[in-house]
Amino acid sequence: MKMKRLDSPEPSWSFSITGIKTITCLGSEAAGTVSISPGLDDPPDQRQADTPMVDSFMQFGGFLVNYFNEAASPDSLFVCHHVQRVQFGPAFAPDGKDWFVWANMTSVDQGNMSTDVYVSDTHSRKTVFTALGMTFGKISRTSLMRMLGGSDARDVESLSAMKTRDRGPAGRDEVVAPAGEKTPPGNNMSKRAEIFRIAASITDIPENELSGEMPLVDIGVDSLGATEMVGDIASTLNVTIDLATFLFFPNINAIIAHVDSQLGLQTGMEDEARDSLPTEAAKDPQVSMSHGDIVEIAKVTKPKRDNALGSGHSTLPIIRSIQESFDDVRLSFDRLGAGAQALDYWSDIYPDDVRLVLEYTTEAFHKLGCELRNLRPEEPVPEVEGVLPRHRQLMRRLYQLLEDENVIERSASGDYVRTNKTIETAADEQNFREIIDKHPLNGPIRHLLQAVGPHLAACLVGGEDARQILFGNRLNKKWLEQLYMEWPMLVTATKLLGGFLLHAFTKTSGPGPLSGPFRILEVGAGTGGTTRHLVHLLTRHGIQFEYCFTDISASLVQKAKTSFADVDGMTFAVLDIEQEPAAELADAFHVVVSTNCIHATRNITHSLSNLRRMLREDGALALIEMTAPRPLYVFDVIVGLLEGWWLFEDGRSHALADVGFWARAFTDAGFREVLWSDGATLEAKTVRVLYHRLCPETRLVDGPMVDVCEAVEWARTTLPHIELKNPDVKPDPDSVVVVGWSSGGQLALSTGWTTVEKGLRPPNAILAFYCPTDYEDDWWQKPIQPIGAEDKGEDYDVLEAVQDEPITNYGIIGAWEPLSDPRIRGDPRARIVLHMNWKAQTLPVVIGGLPSRSLASGERPEIQDWNALRQPPIEEVRRCSPLAQVRSGSYATPTFMVHGTADDLIPWRQSFRTVEEMKTRGVDAQLVLVPEGPH
């Protein structure tokens, strides 16, 4: 069947469709008939889902969006880049031959259309096939021509991303061998041996232990391993297998059958007897794996769980100086970095990285119809067409790069226009070699950039898959591995992490290291770069350990099992940290470590909460993460095409968060002390070791602020439905005002941002009396002497009256009593308020909380003087400080404040600054000062 554009005076391009006999379109609907059936000699599975038949059905969607769509134009094409669901009905019979097809289309947004296709058997009239949510993106004909390597646009044969070829009598897809590479005459043997060699290489399992009937998941071939196998099969056997097709293969035999059929070979039967015999691998239940579960795959004894794990069992060492140990190494990045040649990145290496990324970006824009080099200054920048919706965040990042490098700028109307900056050529082979030779230690990053950069445009529109480029090519996989093992900044951070563990494990008190092993869990261990350094370091210093290597990828775990087979004390498991950990892992590890992994999860706080559950009471979490002070565009191009880079759903604007975001996430996850490595150089602020001590005490943000936020929710959703004694009182859920005095005023103000964070409506207004609003004020860093209750130097234990669990009421002394009341000085619990003022301990106590005496020694043994705690990190302070929240734009609730000018505990100027900041940011706010009014 030949078609041309119906609204064009001349044919713009043509295409061939097999099976479509008639088609009629009206408005947003199309109907027609298809006559096609699979070849009689085709395998049963191929007959059930015959490619030309299915394509003929789905091409109805392509007709609609390209021929009967007002948004279509002669110089553009709508290409299918996503199908939500395809399903065959129970009444489907491949030999039906004649089919009735109906399709409709809807607009998703500008440049994207969606179609649904329904197919009925013309004889039974039953629906037998549906294709739902076929999403088409608009791309110019010129851009598509460039994407296809410069071919004439008139030769573009397909209306969608799914090409259909004419088929031979048997109904199989034609396989075209590369020019000059023909199957040798008479060589019709099965490719079974080659497939087994590839599988053994990918899984690191000896060929003689593999069976053709082994499920692929059992030998560690997950989606990542599948990508590798697809790439190796293509390079070794010249057979291209779609990744989606490969993932449906149940075992190695299915792969062999598919490859042999594509090459027209007879599937070998010579090894069938071997497959029917049990092998050691098939008999070993330890090779079984499933995603999301912890499943042992190493042939080593799993660490036995002590009945009293986490409670100081005599066979396990107890870490008592872990905070001191981190303090010992926290500022050592610059010293270690000098030895690793890591301190010249921003000054010498980064500019060349940007040059390369800029070149690849402008070339990609050129291929997609945006000729930046040819635009004159002030000329509008054309829109890049055809980019898949999943890559829109990356596109925003690329525009940011162009703006940062002064290639484009915003006009007065807000649109992008060209500047007068000349774009240099940096990505040609000669320049690339010069840049590589200048900085050999940065080589892995630049080789990966060279692998992905030339294909950036094709990946953006769905013509190529970045996952296949990175993981389906052995050389690129090698560069990925070397990145983690050799990139100087990561090497430096790994050495700092190793030094921290060495200090912590060798300064242990209680049972010594020789009395039992330290338990270490690595999450997202990947190719094992961090693992290799840590286990060799601990082994070299004679420290006993049990090291659990985990990753979400079964294939990476399987490889690690082989790589570290000679290391005693190692176990291996598949672990998805976004899922709740198994019960047997609770409170199990002294230290949890992870390198560049947790940022790749949807919600950092949720992932950290899961990690926290696996720590012992004396445990610590140590992460290596990038917190770059400037955008690292090179990583956006290398891995930004992978959807995992943009999966975050926790308020981040980019996968790589700053250190402040990390600190907030850790405190939200229940960690109390948050520290990170640092130094004088920019490199020390680019890759950090983040340290977090496990202390589950209730803090201001976890207790009172949560309670008052939930009270607002209760007032809006529950209170209006409670039957009150006085029927004339009818609470209005649309009129909620929160009122508070002193510390309660801070809690009232906190509902202005905590409700929003929880997805609730904030209060309609807040009334606060003489309350703290600026916890960053220096006022809190010096002793305060309440009038009539000055510090007289008494000896006391601030933890004397602290309970094991929080209490909600203390009726011994009324809340309204002045601090000069002598009963307060003599009451251990009431005296805490005086202590906070006397010793400048308001922030450590209010923000961090206090443990009971019985819990303090076990949970925070490093603290010798609970009467003189360190001030909390500034990020924790800001989470509780109303003024900081106003400045960040998180507060917008109308506010009325009252403060006395003679307040000796909280300066009235804090309220004044806060209200003025609110007014500056457009918040309805007012302050009334009471002359000479006390607290």
- On whether both 528 and 676 belong to a single domain, the answer is yes
Domain with residue 732: its CATH number is: 3.40.50
Let me know if residue 428 belongs to a domain: yes
Between CA 639 and CA 394 the distance in angstroms is 10
- pLDDT digits 0-9 by tens, 210-248: 888 888 877 878 777 777 888 888 888 888 887 667 776
Residue 426's pLDDT is 55
Residue 274: per-residue pLDDT: 39
Helix (H, G, I), strand (E, B), or coil: what is residue 743? helix
Residue 173 scores a pLDDT above 70:
no
What is residue 511's predicted lDDT score, i.e. its pLDDT?
43
Using DSSP bridges, classify how beta strands 416-418 and 127-140 pair: parallel, antiparallel or unpaired. unpaired
In this structure, the answer to whether residues 869 and 814 fall within a common structural domain is: yes
State how far the Cα of 236 lies from the Cα of 809, in Å rounded to an integer: 74
Which whole number is the average pLDDT over 491-512? 80
* One domain for residues 456 and 594: no
Output the six-digit token pair for 87.
């399903």
Looking at the predicted structure, is the pLDDT value of residue 629 above 60? yes
CATH code for position 280: 1.10.1200.10
How far apart are alpha carbons 571 and 303 in whole angstroms? 8
| C-alpha–C-alpha distance, residues 313 and 519, integer Å | 13
Question: What is the C-alpha to C-alpha distance for residues 563 and 97, in angstroms, rounded to an integer?
Answer: 54
Same domain, residue pair 491 and 639: yes
Residue 533: DSSP 8-state: H
Q: Which two tokens stand for residue 185?
A: 């005459």
The rounded mean pLDDT for the chain is 80
Identify the pLDDT of residue 271.
44
> Cα angle at 130 between 125 and 132, to 5 degrees?
145
Residues β-bridged to residue 121: 99
Between 138-147, 284-293, 519-528, 906-915, the lowest mean confidence (pLDDT) is in 284-293
CA-based nearest residue to 500, from 264, 689, 782: 689
Which is more confidently placed, 266 or 87? 87
573 assigned to some structural domain: no
Residue 585 maps to which CATH number? 3.40.50.150
Q: At what angle do helices 443-452 and 350-367 cross, to 10 degrees?
A: 0
Do 884 and 901 lie in a common domain?
A: yes
- Span 635-668, pLDDT tens digits: 999 999 998 899 899 989 899 998 888 988 887 8
Across 903-930, average pLDDT: 93
Last residue of a domain, one of 481, 510, 532: 481
CATH classification at residue 39: 3.10.129.120
What is the per-residue pLDDT for 321?
A: 66
Considering the domain architecture, whether residues 142 and 246 belong to the same structural domain is answered as no
| pLDDT per position as a tens digit, 121-156 | 888 888 888 888 888 888 776 666 655 554 443 333
The whole-number average pLDDT for the span 579-583 is 88
Given a cut of 90, whether residue 495 has pLDDT beyond it is yes
Residue 857 lies in a domain: yes
Taking every pair of C-alpha atoms in the chain, what is the biggest distance, in angstroms?
105
CA distance to 104, 171, 658, 804, per residue, from 22 (Å): 16, 22, 59, 78
Least confident of 15-29, 166-180, 790-804: 166-180
pLDDT of 306 > 50? The answer is no
* The pLDDT value given to residue 515: 53
DSSP secondary structure code for residue 899 in this structure: E
Cβ neighbors of 37 (< 8 A, separation 6 or more) are: 50, 53, 94, 95, 96, 97
pLDDT in tens, 855-880: 776 666 777 788 888 888 888 899 89
Helix (H), strand (E) at residue 62: helix 51-67
Determine which of 16-30, 117-131, 360-374, 528-542 has the lowest per-residue pLDDT on average. Answer: 16-30
Is 219 a domain residue?
yes
Q: Is residue 165 part of a domain?
A: no
Give the model's pLDDT for residue 9: 36
Lowest mean pLDDT among 180-184, 247-251, 506-510: 180-184
Chain-centroid distance of CA 274 in Å reads: 43
pLDDT higher for 673 or 413?
413
User: 301 in a domain, yes or no?
Assistant: no
Q: Which domain holds residue 848?
A: 704-930
CA 201 to CA 204: how far, in whole Å? Answer: 5
pTM assigned to the model: 0.54
Q: What count of other Cβ atoms lies within 10 Å of the Cβ of residue 109? A: 8
Per DSSP, the three-state class of 515 is helix
Q: Are 710 and 617 part of one and the same domain?
A: no
Mean pLDDT to the nearest integer, 364-368: 93
Could you tell me the pLDDT band of residue 187, with boundaries at 50, 70 and 90?
low
**Same-domain status, 780 and 822:** yes
Identify whether residues 473 and 491 lie together within a single domain.
Answer: no
pLDDT of residue 913: 93
More confident site: 26 or 923:
923
Is residue 781 a part of any domain in this protein?
yes
Highest mean pLDDT among 185-189, 272-276, 623-627: 623-627
For residues 748 and 840, membership in a common domain is answered with yes
Q: Are residues 601 and 680 in the same domain?
A: yes
The pair of structure tokens assigned to 291 is 């995603």
Averaged pLDDT for residues 685-700: 58
pLDDT, tens digit, for every residue of 393-426?
999 999 999 999 999 999 988 899 999 998 876 5
In a domain, 838, yes or no: yes
| Separation of alpha carbons 600 and 626, rounded Å | 12
Q: In the predicted model, is pLDDT for residue 510 greater than 80?
A: no
- pLDDT higher for 238 or 886? 886
Consecutive H or E run containing 538: helix 529-540
Domain total for the chain? 5
Rounded-to-integer distance, Cα 383 and Cα 137, Å: 14
Select from 428, 426, 446 the least CA-distant residue to 436.
446
Is 237:191 a contact under the CB 8 Å cutoff?
A: yes
pLDDT digits (tens, 9 = 90+) for 699-720: 677 778 888 998 898 888 888 8
* Nearest-angstrom CA–CA distance, 96 and 122: 8
In this model, does residue 831 exceed pLDDT 70? Answer: yes
- Of the two residues 157 and 194, the one the predictor is more confident about is 194
Name 898's bridge partners. Answer: 769, 928
Q: Are residues 394 and 254 in the same domain?
A: no
Closest CA to 485 of 454, 551, 530: 530
Percentage, residues of the chain above pLDDT 90:
31
pLDDT at 788 over 60: yes
Give residue 814's pLDDT band: very low, low, confident or very high (50, 70, 90). low
pLDDT at 263 over 50: yes
Asked whether the beta carbons of 424 and 355 are under 8 A apart, the reply is: yes
Domain end marker among 155, 181, 215: 155
